[in-house]
Amino acid sequence: MSELLKTKAIVLKKLDYGDTSRIIQFFTEDFGKISAILKGARSPKSKKGLMIDTFNYVQLVMYKKDNREVQLVSEVDMLNHFANIKEEYDRIKYATAVIELLLNLTLENEHHHKMFIGSVRALELLNSLSTNPKYIFAKYFLFFVKEIGYELQLHNCSICGRDLEQEKKVLFNYSTGIVCENCGEENFSHMELNQELFIFFQCLISKKNDIKYDEKNLDKVISLIERFLKNNIHEFKGLKSLLS
């Protein structure tokens, strides 16, 4: 038997279905990633269909049945359509990267409230014209990696546990994360982190928003996290949205 339930959601992807309907993938506040059908969504007269666009933050009313793969949406209300994101290329690129991570690296029907709140917040910040979208994404990427179980250790060597603050040199191992010099020498797949980049990594996980940074360091951080994930999750081939 279906339950009539209400939840908030981020629109991840939509596909045409039949003559007038769409199947949408949502990341929801209460049920994680789900697929649902919105009947009549492609009709020019459908106000609900217009609200189902990628990035949109909506409130859904749906008929949910646990053993059904595709749920049925009955009502949609717009909470935020993030107009500024859709007007600027860099904001589109990094918002798309957020959506790509949620689509490809979260599980169906796995409730993750903190991930939902963090993802909505990232889209809100990407929508703010006063923020650098690349910086917002770098902070989100570290948050996301932690929430899916691959947290980068930034104070102790990820192999031996040695205090990295006492080390003259630290390295980034592409499989385990940040390591001390001794552990780095025993593992070939790594690069050296200079002091500036190491401190920047630590700043990114803080709650401070007034951090001074270099654009090149932002690019390096995002690239290192991406390579780290590729080494740990074999089905992850990188973020297509960041290739352009």
Question: How far is 139 from 77, CA to CA, in rounded Å?
Answer: 29
- Per-residue model confidence (pLDDT) at position 238: 94
- Per-residue model confidence (pLDDT) at position 188: 67
Question: How far is 145 from 232, CA to CA, in rounded Å?
Answer: 11
144: nearest Cα among 66, 88, 225? 225
Q: What are the extents of the domains in the chain?
A: 3-80, 86-242
Mean per-residue pLDDT, 65-80: 92
Let me know if 168 is exposed, middle or buried by CB neighbors in 10 A (0-12, 13-18, 19+): exposed
pTM summary value: 0.93
Query: Which residue type does 91 have?
Result: R
CATH superfamily for 86-242 is Recombination protein O, C-terminal domain (1.20.1440.120)
Return the CATH class of domain 3-80.
mainly beta
- For residues 67 and 98, the answer to whether their CB atoms sit within 8 Å is no
- For residues 153 and 178, the answer to whether their CB atoms sit within 8 Å is yes
- Per-residue model confidence (pLDDT) at position 244: 65
Question: How far is 193 from 178, CA to CA, in rounded Å?
Answer: 9
pLDDT digits (tens, 9 = 90+) for 154-207: 899 999 999 998 888 899 999 999 999 888 877 667 888 888 888 888 888 877
pLDDT band of 237, cuts 50, 70, 90: very high
- For residues 51 and 78, the answer to whether their CB atoms sit within 8 Å is yes
- Per-residue model confidence (pLDDT) at position 190: 81
